[in-house]
Amino acid sequence: MSTAITVPEDLWEGDNEGVITAWLVNDGGQVSQGDLVAEVMVEKAQYEIEAPADGRLTITKQEDEVVEKGTTIASLDD
Amino acid sequence: MIGRPESTPMSLQRPSVEEGLAAEEALLEAVCQGDTSLAGLAWSPTDRALVMPRRHQRLAGFPDARRRLAAMAWPIQFRATGGTPVPQSPAVVNLALAIRCRVGDSAAHLDWGYRRLGDPWCDWLASLGVTSADLGPAPGAYCDGRYNVRIASRKLVGTAQRWRRVRGCRDMALLVHGAMQVEDTPGELVAVVNAFQAAIDDPLRFQAGSHIALRDVLPDLQLEPAIPRLVARVLAWHVVPEEGS
């Protein structure tokens, strides 16, 4: 089963775009639900993105790529 | 030793840059762990460093820039909040506020967070007789943003944030930080950031005229008694919701 990691809709208000500033886990790494996996920056505010489930991480949006709320940035596979 | 977050020391603390940044991280973690829902810390470093988000390490010229800045006695350190390089030195006073926010409230957004720190900061300045302070951008300033504390449109305080989910629930923990230049001329600190810009081969240069130091407007201010009043104002402040929000 695959679980998408998305930029949550409730992290900031408005339609501003963010940028992925860091992946805290390498592509292919194993993570547990609740682990911090990435950071997104909007307007000098850093937001931490957590893993929504256990699994092996496949990164689809790289560091320095622009993202919007709801953007899928990675997936987790059993 | 810096005061424990839950005790929120009101007096100005004097740690090293590294210790100050670690104390700010501890404030955020204390909120995440549920130890407190509101805490603040005012500090001014005893040493100096050019502080930036860790992503700057990926710049092609970063290793050389780090060596060049170290040779100028401005070592590079990293911080947890967003933005771009900012000098930290005994000329700078920092105020960090960590606060727990409920998602879905108006208090769970970055604009609210910036106002939560910036509005009482402007109010504190007004209490000292500086009535022209407001929040806004300062084009030409380093680490510019929409929510600097400005005097006459010049940047006095740069602000940045970090947001983290509170363990075990949907609440968020916010760390909002302000760095205010108090002493020295703005040109001295701008020169440090411009030296980094040159070292990474970025043609963008910042302007001293876009910054202002507190001493420029309050030359006789006694900092030690004044800063606790700023901390108290920030901790006690309640943001008035904008109409329609």
CA distance B41 to B58: 31
Indicate the residue of A43, A50, A64 with minimum beta-carbon distance to B110.
Answer: A43
Question: Would you state the pLDDT for residue B6?
Answer: 46
B80 shares contact with chain A (CB less than 8 Å): yes
pLDDT at B166: 87
Check residue B105 and give its pLDDT. Answer: 65
Q: Could you give the percent of chain A with pLDDT greater than 90?
A: 81
Cα–Cα distance measured from residue A23 to residue A21, given in angstroms and rounded to the nearest whole number: 7
Q: How far from B98 is each of B22, B30, B93, B217, CA to CA, in Å?
A: 13, 9, 17, 29
Determine, for residues A45 and B55 on separate chains, whether the beta-carbon distance falls below 8 Å.
Answer: no
Task: Determine contact: A44 vs chain B, CB below 8 A.
Answer: yes
Residues of A whose CB is below 8 A from B55: 21-22, 63-64
Give me the tens of pLDDT residue by residue for chain B, a chain 245 residues long. 344 444 567 899 999 999 999 999 999 999 999 899 999 999 999 999 999 999 999 999 999 999 999 999 999 999 988 899 999 999 999 999 999 988 766 656 888 999 999 999 999 999 999 999 999 999 999 999 999 999 999 999 999 999 998 877 888 899 999 999 999 899 999 999 999 999 999 999 999 999 999 999 999 999 999 999 999 999 998 755 554 44
Domain boundaries, chain B: 5-235
Give strand pairing partners of B59: none
Q: State whether residue B153 is helix, strand or coil.
A: coil
**Contacts with A50 from chain B: Cβ below 8 Å:** 165
**Are A46 and B145 an interchain contact pair (Cβ–Cβ within 8 Å)?**
no
Write down all domains in chain A, each with its CATH number in brackets. Answer: 2-77 (2.40.50.100)
Taking an 8 Å cut-off on Cβ atoms, the answer to whether A11 and B53 are in contact is no
Which pLDDT value is given to residue B75? Answer: 98
pLDDT at A8 exceeding the cut of 90: no
pLDDT at A20 over 60: yes
Single-letter residue type at A22: A
Alpha carbon separation from B53 to A41, A47, B6, B7 (Å, rounded): 10, 13, 26, 28
The angle formed by the CA atoms of residues B171, B177 and B181, to the nearest 5 degrees, is 170
What is the pLDDT at residue B245?
40
Contact A44 B58 (CB under 8 A): no
For residue A46, the chain B residues in CB contact (below 8 A) are: 53, 80-82, 160-163
Name every chain B residue with its beta carbon within 8 A of the beta carbon of A10.
103-104, 108
The whole-number pLDDT of residue B7 equals 53
**Chain B residues within 8 A of A12 when measuring between CB atoms:** 109-110
Q: Which residues of A touch B109 (CB under 8 A)?
A: 12-13
- For the segment(s) B5-235, the CATH number from 3.40.50.1100, 3.30.230.70, 3.30.930.10, 3.40.50.2000 is 3.30.930.10
B53 to chain A: closest CA residue: A21
Predicted local confidence at residue B8, as pLDDT: 61
What value does the mean pLDDT take over residues A33-48? 93
* Residue B147, number of CB atoms within 10 A of its CB: 26
Report the share of chain A in percent with pLDDT over 70: 100
**In sequence order, what are the residues at sequence separation of 6 or more whose Cβ sits closer than 8 angstroms to the Cβ of residue A56?**
A28, A29, A30, A31, A76, A77, A78
Mean pLDDT on A64-76? 94
Contact with chain B for residue A15, Cβ under 8 A: no
Note the residue count of chain A: 78
Q: The whole model's pTM is what? A: 0.91
Q: What is the largest CA-CA distance in chain A?
A: 35
